[in-house]
Amino acid sequence: MAQPGQTVPDFEAQATPDQTVRLSDLKGKNIVIYFYPKDHTPGCTTEGQDFRDNYAEFEKLNTLVFGVSKDSLKTHQNFKAKHSFPFELITDPDEVVCRVFDVIKLKKLYGKEYVGIERSTFLIDAEGVLRKEWRKVKVKGHVAEVLEATKAL
- Residue 31: in which H helix or E strand, if any? strand 30-35
Q: Which of 21, 44, 68, 100 is catalytic?
A: 44
Does residue 98 have an active-site annotation?
no
State the alpha helices, DSSP H only, in the chain: 42-53, 55-60, 73-83, 96-100, 142-151
State the first-to-last Cα distance of the chain, in angstroms, to the nearest integer.
22
DSSP for 120-153, please give it. Answer: EEEEE-TTSBEEEEE-S--STTHHHHHHHHHHT-
Just list the catalytic residues: 44
